[in-house]
Amino acid sequence: MSLRVVVERGALTMAAALVDGSRLVDLEIVELLHPPVTDALFGARVERVDQKLDAAFLDIGEPGSAFLGARDARPVAGTAERLPMAKLVHEGQRLLVQGLREPIGDKGPRVTADIKLFGFFVILRPFAMVPEIPGRLPAGVAEAMRQRADRLFAGRGVVLRRSAASVDDSVLLEEAATLAERWARLRAEADRQRRPGRLAADEPVLERLLRRFFDDRYGLVAAADPSVLAELAGPLRARLLAAGVAVERLDIGLPAFEQTGVDEEIDRALATEVAIPGGGTLRIEETAACVAIDIDGGGRTPLDIDLAATAEVARQLRLRNLGGTIVIDFVDLPGRQQRQRVEDALRKALRQDPVGVQQYPLSPLGLVQLSRPRRGASLAARLCRPCPSCAGTGRAPSLVRAAEALFRHLATPPVPLAVAVAADLATFLRGDAATAWEALPARPRLHEDATLAPGTWRRCA
């Protein structure tokens, strides 16, 4: 595979796309207005202990109370015993916690006191006492990595990532020391903090994006934004070079996603129908109960199209971040031997999924059920919203995405003297996105046009 990561920094978001040749494999987006809770570090205060749930609800300075289960609270008391929450924390207590899960609907975020600081090659667990290695490794590889972890980090809570296999011991030791220094800064900041909230000494956004795909072993990072390129030329450069990752400077006159074809790939990933290489299509429908995937043969033989579809199904699950129950309707096959070949091909394709997928046997009717852990919102939920013009029966680009498109347009001369925007977009630009709008070097006058469709805009003469 010719894997590379393309990084694009906008006024409201920073995103990284994992690309194999010209095909989009995965996409990570961080909203700068509302950074993710997952993996972030917070100074928190216990609001109440719920004995029935054996949990506590915390104020972390974000909307909604965060949920802390008893198992995740054990490091607070310095114990591994299964004690009830009432014996682990008390109301009003201040804690340092880390996000585990984003808020969903009316449920607040989930957090843990078992902190993990992520690096490119190692993970530091400050409250653990033994080194660890990744799961799902071949026996010989696992044993060699376990011996290396014990030799370098005996008595310390350091986890070797898969990427650790490609670098020298000195690189692992240096990164572990860097993470230990970050942990010291985080603890000091939490001690000084007067109100619950996010800790500033946490992981930089660009590091988060790059390490997200590090186990995929990409060989190139491409960027166009000068600030991103400056960060890549700083302390990050040594770690990238250690793993054999080069930096590509794209044309600064165009957004990185536009000039590398990532924008077009994102549009395809938001479509209901997906072409299968060689012919045939997948139809992907997200519903409240499950994700349904139907395979259309396009004239190919049943076994041929089913085998070809397995790789594309696996790619789409990861790219679209689809989770929960997933049902795939393969083209019917006449015999058990052919069904077994399709099951094996799908299982092989799903091995590359970083979150792990549980697969159930193919039924005589050609249905396969998968269970994939939910890791935040799906790609469609992140980049789209219910269409305001059709009472939720369709989707339109989110206001963040619509604003980013407008910012990109205004970054290319000649900049118009005025721009007309839909009412909802005008409210967003004057509210949540006001700082980014006012920071534009050449800012046109903003006119609200009630005749424009929600989220759209046009240049004024």
Averaged over successive runs of 10 residues, the pLDDT of the chain (461 residues) comes to: 90 96 94 91 96 95 94 88 92 95 87 96 95 86 93 96 92 96 95 94 92 92 96 92 94 94 95 92 91 92 94 95 94 88 95 90 89 88 80 77 93 90 95 94 91 90 67
80 and 16 within one domain: no
Q: Which of 265, 300, 335 is the last residue of a domain?
A: 265
Do 28 and 62 belong to one domain? no
CATH number assigned to the domain comprising residue 28: 3.30.420.60
**Are the CB atoms for 221 and 240 separated by under 8 Å?**
yes
E strands present in 135-255: 158-160, 197-198, 220-223, 246-249
d(CA 328, CA 178): 45
- Could you tell me if residue 188 is inside a domain? no
Whether residue 120 contacts residue 139, with contact meaning beta carbons closer than 8 Å, is answered with: no
Q: Is residue 379 assigned to a domain?
A: no
Whether residue 91 is contained in a domain is answered as yes
Do 378 and 320 touch, CB atoms closer than 8 A?
yes
| pLDDT of res. 461 | 67
Q: Counting every residue, how long is the chain? A: 461
Burial, 274: exposed, middle or buried (Cβ in 10 Å; 0-12, 13-18, 19+)? buried
pLDDT confidence of residue 68: 97
Please, which residues have CB within 8 angstroms of residue 279's CB and are 6 or more apart in sequence? 297, 298, 299, 300, 305
In a domain, 167, yes or no: no
**Can you give the pLDDT at residue 127?**
94
CB 90 within 8 A of CB 49: yes
Same domain, 8 and 55: no
Retrieve residue 112's tokens. Answer: 């843990």
**Same-domain pairing of 17 and 66:** no
Please report, to the nearest 10 degrees, the dihedral formed by the alpha carbons of residues 250, 253, 254, 255 taken in order.
80
End residue of a domain, out of 310, 338, 372:
372
Side-chain half-sphere of 99: how many Cα atoms within 13 Å? Answer: 25
| Predicted local distance difference test score (pLDDT) of residue 219 | 94
User: Domain check: are 18 and 82 in the same one?
Assistant: no
Helix (H) / strand (E) element for 205: namely: helix 205-212
Q: In the prediction, which pLDDT does 391 show?
A: 58
Residue 134 CA to residue 79 CA, distance in Å, equals: 24
Is the Cβ–Cβ distance between 273 and 316 less than 8 Å? no
Do both 290 and 368 map to the same domain?
yes
Check: CB of residue 321 under 8 Å from CB of residue 354: no
Sheet of 117-118, strands arranged across: 117-118, 122-124, 158-160
CA torsion sign for 444, 450, 455, 457 is negative
3-class SS of residue 190? helix
Residue 171 lies in a domain: no
CATH number for the domain including 367? 3.30.1370
The answer to whether the beta carbons of residues 405 and 383 sit under 8 Å apart is no
- Domain of 15? 1-36+206-265
- The token duo for 399 is 């206001």
Alpha-carbon Rg of the chain, whole angstroms?
Answer: 24
Domain count, the chain: 4
Same domain as 306, residue 215 = no
Query: 100 and 47 in one domain?
Result: yes
* Beta carbons within 10 angstroms of residue 237's beta carbon: 13
- List the CATH number of the domain containing 45: 2.40.50.140
Residues 49, 31, single domain; the answer is no
What pLDDT score does 374 carry? 83
pLDDT (0 to 100) of residue 113: 96
Neighbours of 13 (CB within 10 A): 18
Does residue 9 sit in the same domain as residue 58?
no
Strands (E), 107-253: 110-112, 117-118, 122-124, 158-160, 197-198, 220-223, 246-249
223 and 311 housed in the same domain: no
Whether residues 32 and 63 share a domain: the answer is: no
**254 by DSSP, 3-state: which?**
coil
Q: Which of 265, 298, 333 is the C-terminal boundary of a domain?
A: 265
Does residue 146 lie in a domain region? no
Domain membership of residue 57 (yes or no) is yes
Q: Locate 35 and state its tokens.
A: 């950074």
Structure-token match 């909802």, residue found: 424
pTM for the structure as a whole:
0.85
Residue 50 lies in a domain: yes
Listed residue (37, 92, 32, 31) closest to 61, CA to CA = 37
